[in-house]
Structure formats: C-alpha cells, structure tokens
A and B are shown apart, each in its own frame.
Chain A
Amino acid sequence: MSVFDGLKFRRVYSPIHNLDPRIKFIYVLAIFVIAIIFWELIPLIVLFIIQIPFVVLAGVKREWLRSMRGGAFLASIIFVTNFVVAYFAGRGLAESLENAIALTLRFIVLIESFSIFFLTTSPDHLGLALEQTGMPYEFCFAFTTAVRFVPVLAEEAQTIMDAQKARGLELERGNFLKRIRNYIPILIPLIVSAIRRSLELAEAMESRAWGATKKRTNLYVLKIHKNDFFLIVITIGILATAIFIRLYVPIPSLNQLLKGIF
C-alpha cells in the first residue's frame, strides 16, 4: 500500500499547497508531455532534477520519498525488461543500459510529478477546481468522494485481510490460480461493504438535503494569485524550451558525452 501513501494528502501550508490546483495540474500535464517526447537520458535527468525544488518548497520530502520507494518495484521491472530486450536485440551493453535507465527514469518522473500534485492538493481543492471549470456538480462530488474514500478502503482491506488470516487463510499458498482464488474471501467482504457504505452515504446525504438547490455557491472561490502566474510562466518556459530542444537541438547520449571527455 506504500504506493498510495505517496499520494495521500496531508494538510500543511506551503507556497506549493496554496497554488491553484488547475495551474498545478497544467504543470503536471506539461511535465508528462515532456517526459513522453524525450527518450534520451540527459533531458530526463534534467526533468527529474528540476522538480526537486518543488518537493523541498512543499515540505513533503518524506512522503515523496515513500512514493518513490513504492514505485521502485514497477521501476525495476521496467528497467529489467527494457535492458533485456535491448541487449538481446543486439545493441551494445552501454547503449542498452543507458536506454533502460532512461525509460525507467521516464516512469519515475511521471510518478514524481503526480505524487507532487496529489501530495500538495487536497481532495476538496481538487473538487473545487473541477467545479469551477464548469464540470457538473454531481460529477465533481462523485470524484471527490471516490478520492476521499481510497484510504478508507485501503484500511478496510487490511482489516479484512487480518480477519481472514485469523481464520487460517494463507494468501501466499498454492500455485498462481490458487493464489488468485485466495483473494475471494477478501474481495467479497470489501465489495459488499463498499456497496453498503455507498448506500448509507446516499441516505445520509439525502437526509442532509443534498441537491435541494440547483445553483450552489461556494465558501471558497479559486483565484489566480501572483505565485500562480509565476508557475504558469515557468511551465510555459519549460515546455517551450523542451519543444525547441526536441526540434532543433541534437541530444548526445551519455555514452557519447563520456567518450568525448575521455
């Protein structure tokens, strides 16, 4: 569950937390696009490094590191498959190594930016952002509720696992198919209680007059501040530079660079 830990929001105040979620999202999308258009190692390293100031500014180093660690398993799979495929396709050791590292780093950059976004944006803020971009309220509400219930569900899954283990269930026993079947005693109670909870939630909402007025007002209204403009400028700057480099600047591989030096 440590992957989810890295996405869990904690209420603290920092310049990053106070940014408009819409702008932050655009920033994340920009990083996403840049990570996709480059497959060379050097720009991806740069991309990885330029996000670190955000983490430090937001004061979420510990959680961020945890989400990185959570992604380590998938990252290692990506590394191994890429390396093996490239190596056996007849590319040199150094080249396939660099290629594999680059693709792994691309994945890490994606996790990094998403984790920064989710770590510094409260679910309420996210819902507010959706709502104020003109999304229908029902949809926004469903979305924020879903996000908010992820940790609850994770905790419940843990309790159910404990309860079934206490009845002698061994999850790690048997062959592959048996192992999947071992999860039935966990999935059924989890799904049943999720459905039950959603029905209860619906009743609780109805009894608190949900949807009584068609036109809703909000206590908080998102406004673009000075810092948000700053982030927009940074985002556009990074994106423009990246596209320019992609189109007009040849990118040396690390191997070539090292050969050039020695």
Chain B
Amino acid sequence: MIEVEDVYFRYPNGVEALKGVSLTIKNGEFVAIMGQNGAGKTTLVKHFNGLLKPTKGRVLVDEAETTKVSVATLARKVGFVFQNPDHQLFCETAEEEIAFALKNFGFKETIIKRRVQWALNLLGLTQYKKISPFMLSGGERKRVALASVLAWNPKILILDEPTIGQDYQQKEKLRQFILQMKTQRKTVIIVTHDVEFVAECNPRVVLMREGKIVADGEAKEILTNEEVLTQASIVPPQIAQIFMQMPSLQLPKNIIDVYEAREILLKMLRSDAK
C-alpha cells in the first residue's frame, strides 16, 4: 500500500512540482496517473520508490516512510520502468541486462537463470537473449527494460509512459499483461498520455494539473467529465466524444468502452426497428 500525505516537492532549481498531494493506493489496485506535460506525474511516482523525497509531507510504502529506507531496499518492492529505455540499458546482451538487477538484489545464480528465462519468455524476447540491447529496435528495447524490472517480481509496478513507440499489438499484449498482474494482486501504476489505452484498461484514474490532483475516480467517470478533462488538457476517448456529440439520441454519457457502446447502439437500433 502506498500512502501519500500532503506532499510538497520543490526541485533544487526552485520549481515547485508538487503542491499538496494526498493519495492512497491500495494493494492490487490499477491506477493511471494522467495530466498535461509538467503536471508533476513523474515527480509524484518517483516518490513511490524513494528516488525523490518530499520537501514537506510524507510518503509511506507498506507503512515504511520513504525517507528512512534506501532506494535499493524500496526498489525490491517497487519496480520502476523508466520512460526511455536508453537511460538504463548498458549490458552486452539482453540476458545480462535482465540479470543486472537480480544480481544487485543478491539472488542466487540458479534462481537468476530461471527468472531471466521467465522474463524473456513473458515479453517475447527469448530470441534476442544473446543480442546487444543496443541493436534492438525502440519498442524492443522498451520491452527489455520492462523485462529487466519484472524479473525480480516486485509487488508494486510503476510504468512511466509504457505505450510510447509500441504498435497496437504490443499495446494489447501490455494490457493483457497488466490485467494478469492485477489477478495476482499486484499493484500497477502507469503514467500516461494515452487516453485510448486507459479507456481500454479501465483503471482508477488520477488526474493531475500543476502539481495538484484535480480528479480521482473510475476511468468511466473521469474520462467523460469534460470539465475536469479540459482542466488537465486531456481529450476524452473517441467513443465518448461520439456519444457526447449526439445529444439528440439521449445516449448515456459515461461510456468509454467500445464493446459497451456497440451493445447500446445495437439495442437502440433494434428497438427502433420494432
């Protein structure tokens, strides 16, 4: 469980990135943090594994205050996949890359081998295990970075912009994977601008703007609430836009799921036909 209590954060250059954020994320929750550029999303999630410490207020991860534990200790529990894979890849092969964190955490050799195999397989990277990560494409590098974090099986997983540079199929795989994590009672937190992806996943949505949380709730409610969306510079998902722009049909306003929308439209057409 992550508890954020009235956190303020100011960067050394004087920019106040968080201005009184309070938030509780329970175990097994799936949360999407959204908001315009510079709203403080990444700053907020960097508090979850202790990379940043609040200037005021406190952050608790499983009841331990982040200022009192080292990042390495927290990292064992909180896996953080950075936005740009090039900021962390450095090994000669994808395999070694994934083993790096496991070695840092002091896993045994045999377990490391098994975990690496498992992570490579999970993300469809087995064929690249002997290849340098630098030779892979952007999307593949991103998956290596993800695999390198998943390998130690953290309880809480933070993904910063996971869908950037991924094609539709990979996004779908990512979505399936997140859902699978959810069934294992793992906490997943994503930071993203990808409204359609969030609409498909239907997580809890936390909207941020200028260092504050402006809305927090079901994706269904938040992503169709035009007022808070404009505040956070986000456009509603396409299907919601279509429904909003046909007021004369008296369609429900809080639809973000394409299949649900299809059902509603079909029902309407059938009843019209009668």
Contacts and interface: CB of A to CB of B under 8 A. Distances in A.
Interface of A: 2, 5, 156, 159-160, 162-170, 184-185, 188-189, 192-193, 196
Interface of B: 12-13, 46, 49, 51, 70-72, 75-76, 79-80, 82, 84, 86-90, 100-101, 104-105, 134, 148-149, 152
Given A159-B87, A165-B75, A189-B89, A170 B104 contact: yes
Given A162-B46, A162-B51, A185-B100, A167 B149 contact: yes
Contact of B51 (A5, A166, A168, A189): A166
A94 to B, nearest CB: 39
Contact of A167 (B13, B84, B148): B148
A184 B90 contact: yes
Contacts of A156: 87
B89 to A, nearest CB: 6
Contacts, number: 64
Contacts of A162: 46, 51, 82
Contacts of B82: 159, 162-163, 166
- In the A-B complex, the 3 residue pairs with the smallest Cβ-Cβ separation, listed nearest first, are A168-B104, A188-B90, A166-B80
Nearest to A196: B86
Nearest to A170: B72
A162 B160 CA distance: 13
Contacts of B13: 5
Contacts of B51: 162, 165-166
Given A166-B51, A168-B101, A189 B76 contact: no
Given A162-B82, A163-B82, A169 B72 contact: yes
A162 B84 CA distance: 12
Given A163-B87, A168-B75, A189-B90, 6 more contacts: A160-B87, A166-B80, A166-B82, A167-B75, A167-B104, A184-B90
B87 A193 contact: yes
